[in-house]
């Protein structure tokens, strides 16, 4: 086989070539230079960050025959380095714990450990995915691991250190490998492409580096696929097609529609996205990332993207956090949903439903099923008006009592958020363009858009610009408080009627029944 995949071709041969793990390289180099070689090393980290590679480099450093002592940088020319690199060294045993989990395998290893190395300084045992060993295998290893012969060094590699017994962890020098930053991955991939003589669009390289999620091996595997997909070059559109991603401009437009509560446009954008045949879980990840960037921009102003700045200026910070929670919750359940496209649509529907400004309703014959509700109240002849034209004319001059105000409040068309907040505020007074309310809610605690919605609704009702003033105080006469009091009275009356109804009481007594708590409701006639 003439072609060698990039992940193998560019596997580091010494510590200088390792990408993004300077803290681990420094610790190992110092231990060798100071002749403080530990009896057991544990390399922990996610897939593709260099655990096995660093273990093999460490083995070459300890057994390199270019000098009479271990070296910080292996020569890669002596027989020991070449044999360790190809897996043929007699004193370097690499074990896959996933396929050799039995205690008999571990006993065989321990028995051979007592014998000195044949032609090198150390006998080195590399156990990959060590967390896969059985409990009995760990127990068999403990004594040798605690007091190994002077010529033995254990190197463990694992992606799940929490599954390793603490008795084993306490006997190892643990080194945690980090995921590699996107910036480092871009630089690494760019250097490889330059060495290979492959032309590449910088945006395509960045997209591959971002999709690798901090794994160097994943990045190189994706790079191999992208080269094959692009017929020997890295083309942005081809990379997008390969990864199932789309241009973020579609998502910025989608978020603008969600923020404004425009359900029809939101689903138009979703249909445009669907035409590109994307990976819907990746789309949801991108939405989560955009919301995260917006949150950071709102707090520390660190974004360089004009689209993020524009979204952060129009999106209420509290609503942004709510959208983030909705998106993350949807992503956590994405894998159990039978239809990925529907899972994304349901997530967007929830975002629209909890929008404090936008109000959505189902439209018959609309393929998206969503349209923006008309904010104007349309009363038919059969629907009673809460406030008559004469009352409205009088109230425009000045509201005299909380009862008059409550009637006006009931006639307003408000979003659920605004109703919940302002329905709990009691009327204090009205003078010309100023309306004073009081309650436990402070103005600073009300989202700016919700406050503006209510103020605009009042201005529209009275036909002049209204200013709302909120003071701290009691709200026993607020619209919702009075409505709750009336409901309690009706419920109490209903309970009393049932208690005094001999027919119902006879049935209860005859069948030894009882009335379920909360089941008695009054019915408005």
pLDDT(371) > 70: no
Q: What percent of the chain has pLDDT over 90?
A: 25
What pLDDT, on a 0 to 100 scale, did the predictor assign at position 409? Answer: 86
Mean pLDDT of 159-184: 91
What pLDDT, on a 0 to 100 scale, did the predictor assign at position 519? Answer: 63
**Conformation bin of residue 244: beta by default, left when phi > 0, alpha when psi is -120 to 50:** left
Closest CA to 36 of 175, 173, 212: 173
What pLDDT, on a 0 to 100 scale, did the predictor assign at position 524? Answer: 53
Burial class of residue 71, CB neighbours in 10 A (0-12, 13-18, 19+): buried
Gap between the Cα atoms of 73 and 504, Å rounded: 92
What pLDDT, on a 0 to 100 scale, did the predictor assign at position 96? Answer: 86
Task: Grade residue 368 by pLDDT with cuts at 50, 70 and 90.
Answer: very low
- Tens-place pLDDT, residues 351-365: 988 887 654 333 334
What pLDDT, on a 0 to 100 scale, did the predictor assign at position 403? Answer: 83
What pLDDT, on a 0 to 100 scale, did the predictor assign at position 495? Answer: 75
Gap between the Cα atoms of 100 and 127, Å rounded: 10
Q: What percent of the chain has pLDDT over 70?
A: 89
* Domains within the chain, CATH numbers bracketed: 6-176 (3.40.50.300), 182-243 (1.10.8.60), 248-372 (1.20.272.10), 389-477 (no CATH)
Closest CA to 415 of 382, 372, 381, 379: 372
- Tens-place pLDDT, residues 49-69: 999 999 999 999 998 888 888
Task: Grade residue 521 by pLDDT with cuts at 50, 70 and 90.
Answer: low
Of 346 and 361, the structure prediction assigns the larger pLDDT to 346
What pLDDT, on a 0 to 100 scale, did the predictor assign at position 520? Answer: 62
Mean pLDDT of 310-325: 89
What pLDDT, on a 0 to 100 scale, did the predictor assign at position 506? Answer: 72
pLDDT(458) > 60: yes
What is the enclosing helix (H) or strand (E) of 471?
A: strand 467-472
Q: Output phi, psi for 74, to 5 deg.
A: -65, 150
Gap between the Cα atoms of 407 and 27, Å rounded: 74
Task: Grade residue 114 by pLDDT with cuts at 50, 70 and 90.
Answer: confident
**b/e for 401-438, b at 16 or more Cβ within 10 A?**
ebebbbbbbeebbbbebbbebbbbbbbbebeeeebbbb
pLDDT(156) > 90: yes
What is the secondary structure of 234-248 as a DSSP string? B-HHHHHHHHT---H
What pLDDT, on a 0 to 100 scale, did the predictor assign at position 328? Answer: 94
On whether the CB atoms of residues 295 and 321 are closer than 8 A, the answer is yes
Task: Grade residue 384 by pLDDT with cuts at 50, 70 and 90.
Answer: very low
What pLDDT, on a 0 to 100 scale, did the predictor assign at position 358? Answer: 52
- Tens-place pLDDT, residues 174-197: 999 999 998 999 999 999 999 999
Helix (H, G, I), strand (E, B) or coil at 468: strand
What pLDDT, on a 0 to 100 scale, did the predictor assign at position 370? Answer: 35
Least confident of 105-109, 369-373, 495-499, 520-524: 369-373
Q: Which tokens is 258 given? A: 């969600």
pTM: 0.61
pLDDT(300) > 70: yes
Task: Grade residue 516 by pLDDT with cuts at 50, 70 and 90.
Answer: low
pLDDT(251) > 80: yes
Gap between the Cα atoms of 264 and 369, Å rounded: 8
pLDDT(207) > 50: yes
Mean pLDDT of 367-394: 41
Task: Grade residue 245 by pLDDT with cuts at 50, 70 and 90.
Answer: confident
């Amino acid at each position: 086989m003439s072609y060698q995949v990039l992940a193998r071709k560019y596997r580091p041969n010494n510590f200088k070539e390792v990408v993004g793990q300077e803290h681990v390289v420094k610790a190992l180099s110092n231990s060798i230079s100071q002749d403080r070689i530990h009896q057991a090393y544990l390399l922990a980290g996610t897939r593709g960050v260099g655990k096995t590679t660093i273990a093999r480099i460490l083995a070459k450093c300890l057994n390199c025959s270019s000098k009479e002592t271990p070296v910080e940088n292996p020569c890669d020319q002596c027989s020991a380095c070449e044999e360790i690199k190809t897996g043929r060294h007699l004193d370097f045993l690499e074990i896959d714990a996933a396929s050799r989990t039995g205690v008999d395998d571990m006993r065989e290893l321990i028995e051979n450990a007592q014998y000195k190395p044949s032609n090198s300084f150390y006998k080195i045992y590399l156990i990959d995915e060590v967390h896969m060993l059985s409990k009995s295998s760990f127990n068999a290893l403990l004594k040798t691991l605690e007091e190994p012969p002077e010529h033995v060094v254990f190197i463990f590699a694992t992606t799940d250190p929490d599954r390793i017994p603490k008795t084993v962890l306490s006997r190892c020098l643990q080194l945690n490998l980090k995921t590699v930053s996107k910036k480092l991955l871009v630089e690494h991939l760019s250097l490889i492409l330059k060495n290979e003589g492959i032309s590449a669009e910088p945006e395509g390289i960045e997209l591959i580096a971002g999709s690798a999620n901090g794994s160097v091996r994943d990045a190189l595997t994706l790079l191999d696929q992208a080269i094959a997909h692009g017929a020997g070059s890295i083309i942005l559109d081809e990379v997008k097609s390969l990864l199932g991603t789309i241009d973020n401009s579609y998502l910025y437009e989608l978020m603008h529609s969600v923020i404004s509560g425009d359900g029809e446009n939101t689903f138009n954008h979703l249909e445009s996205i669907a035409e590109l045949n994307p990976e819907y879980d990746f789309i949801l990840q991108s939405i989560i990332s955009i919301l995260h960037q917006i949150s950071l921009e709102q707090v520390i102003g660190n974004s360089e993207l004009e689209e993020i700045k524009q979204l952060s200026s129009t999106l209420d910070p509290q609503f942004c956090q709510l959208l983030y929670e909705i998106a993350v919750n949807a992503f956590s359940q994405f894998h159990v949903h039978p239809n990925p496209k529907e899972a994304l649509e349901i997530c967007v529907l929830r975002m629209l439903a909890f929008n404090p400004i936008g109000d959505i309703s189902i439209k018959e014959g609309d393929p998206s099923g969503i349209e923006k509700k008309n904010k104007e109240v349309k009363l038919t002849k059969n629907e009673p008006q809460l406030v008559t034209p004469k009352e409205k004319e009088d109230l425009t001059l000045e509201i005299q009592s909380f009862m008059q105000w409550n009637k006006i409040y009931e006639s307003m068309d408000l979003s659920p958020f605004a109703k919940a907040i302002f329905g709990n505020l009691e009327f204090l007074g009205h003078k010309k363009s100023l309306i004073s309310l009081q309650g436990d809610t402070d103005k600073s605690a009300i989202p700016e858009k919700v406050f503006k919605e209510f103020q605009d609704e009042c201005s529209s009702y009275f036909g002049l610009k209204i200013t709302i003033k909120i003071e701290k105080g009691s709200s026993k006469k607020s619209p919702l408080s009075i409505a709750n009091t009336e409901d309690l009275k009706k419920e109490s009356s209903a309970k009393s009627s049932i208690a005094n109804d001999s027919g119902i009481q006879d049935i209860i007594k005859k069948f030894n029944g009882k009335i379920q708590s909360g089941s008695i409701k009054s019915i408005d006639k």
